[in-house]
Structure 1
Amino acid sequence: MSEKSPTTRERLINSARYLFWERGYAGTSMADLLAHAQVNSGSFYHFFESKEALLRAVLEEYLVMLRPIVIDPAFASTNDPVARIFAVLSGYRERILMTECQYGCPLGRLALEIDPENRPAHKLIAENFQGWIAAIRECLEQLKPQLPKNTDLDALAAYVLITMEGGVMLARSYRSVEPFDKAVRQLKQHFDLLLSSHMTRSLKPQPSRRKSASHSKP
């Protein structure tokens, strides 16, 4: 059985997702969108009232795609929570190499490019980032018994996201995967330190609670 052809609306969203990533939101004209999706303007306005409305649809699509495309394949590769975090990052490394270091996180690009006054779009971008952070936090919850007691899991999950976004941006700017690899190696060292710190404290001898002989009653 042949796969179902995408609807006109789906073609517009798919084209916008690709063009916004390749050229940026501002750099993609309505003519570009129509030509790439192979639709006319009447069809466009039947589904979307504006280019901005199409942008929101793209961001909503990213929310839907996050788990099945980015998170679930990485989590399926291992049961170890630390390995799962770095499997997610490894997926971004593969995208960098596949695009000859031209890959840039589409959400990161849109977050920087979209006018700050466009609150509906930024709200959706933030929801996408929060979904990513929440997925990493799932791993950290499993690690919680092995982490220092004062570890802020939300902050640590956000730190992983920031490392990924910064590494991807530098890899694209330098046209080399090395900056991304350096950032990930440093993140691994951070996790090693957190986990070894807990291990050191757990192995440290505890002081005896028994009263000393000098303080015992006669």
Structure 2
Amino acid sequence: MTTAHLPDVRRHILDVAHPLLLAKGFTAVGLAELLAAARVPKGSFYHYFASKEAFGEAMLETYFDECHAKIDGLLGGSGTAAERLMAYFDDWLTSQTDEHAQSRCLVVKLGAEVSDLSEPMRAALDRGTRAVTARLAATLAAGAQDGSLPTLPDPAGTATALYQNWLGASLLAKILRDRAPLDTAMAQTRTLLGLG
């Protein structure tokens, strides 16, 4: 199928770019490589994205849209708030130790790289991560209400600390090529939440 017959060329470009960016990072993926992989002409790219930076911002927004939908499914499922929260962290652990690069965290891969390069991309990361921690904070508060989690003096602060811990563990797991930091993050999470 040629790109002219694709129902959504913009989405196709973003889908093809995702594994490339996870493998190489933002600056290492040149426009020519991306266009060749997506099999779209340069004009098609610029029809959808004003610049590579605008493409990067769209890539992050799309990533977070999908991430938030997945989180909403996990945190909005059945069971106690504690069970739903642990399902989220179980999923994080699995996705970061899975052999499929597509499942890895784009925030870990691109966060430090693009935050200094592009204010719009940094802002997209900021909006996306704040939305994640807000969802976690709401689930922590729900856990206090249903009795499955302790009442925390600052659910938003705890949610931010948990997210930071897991981001750091994911980065260390990449550096060490070892899942041990993620296992430690899981143990710390269970302890912090009083889940033994």
TM-score with structure 2 length normalisation?
A: 0.85
Partner of 1:55: 56
For 1:81 and 1:61, locate their aligned partners in 2 and report how far apart those are by CA, in whole Å: 27
How far residue 102 of structure 1 moved from its aligned partner, in angstroms, is 9.8
Question: Is residue 81–residue 142 contact of structure 2 (8 Å, CA) maintained in 1?
Answer: yes
Query: Equivalent residue for 1:17?
Result: 18
Contact 1:85 1:136 in 2 (8 A): yes
**Could you tell me how far apart the structure 1 residues matched to 2:56 and 2:159 are?**
27
Q: Which of 159, 163, 166 is the equivalent residue of 1:164?
A: 166
Cα shift at 1:122 = 0.9
Percent identical pairs in the alignment equals 25
Distance 1:97 1:111 in 2: 19
Equivalent in 167, 178, 181 of residue 180 of structure 2: 178
The amino acid that maps onto 1:31 is A
Q: For the Cα contact (< 8 Å) 2:22–2:101, is it kept in 1?
A: no
| Aligned residue runs from structure 1 range 1-218, under 5 A | 5-69=6-70, 71-75=71-75, 77-99=77-99, 104-116=104-116, 118-145=118-145, 147-148=150-151, 151-192=153-194
Deviation at 1:98, TM superposition (A): 1.9
- Distance 1:52-1:85 versus aligned 2 partners, 3 A rule: same
Asked which structure has the greater CA Rg, the reply is: 1
Between the aligned partners of 1:148 and 1:94, the Cα distance in structure 2 is 28
Q: Where does the alignment leave 5 or more consecutive residues of structure 2 unmatched?
A: none
> How well do the aligned residues superpose, as a CA RMSD in angstroms?
2.5
Structure 1 runs of 4+ aligned residues shifted over 3 Å read 100-104, 144-149
Structure 1 pair 182–160 and aligned structure 2 pair: CA distance change class (3 A):
same
For structure 1, the 5+ residue unaligned runs are 197-218
SS in 2 for 1:172: helix
Question: How far did 1:23 drift?
Answer: 0.8
In the TM superposition, what whole-angstrom CA distance separates every residue of 1:97-155 from its partner, at most 9, and x where no partner exists? Answer: 32279965211322200142522111110010011101111111113355356x11111
Question: How many residue pairs end up in the alignment?
Answer: 189
State the alpha-carbon separation in 1 of the partners of residues 7 and 179 from structure 2. Answer: 34
- Secondary structure of 2:89's aligned partner: helix
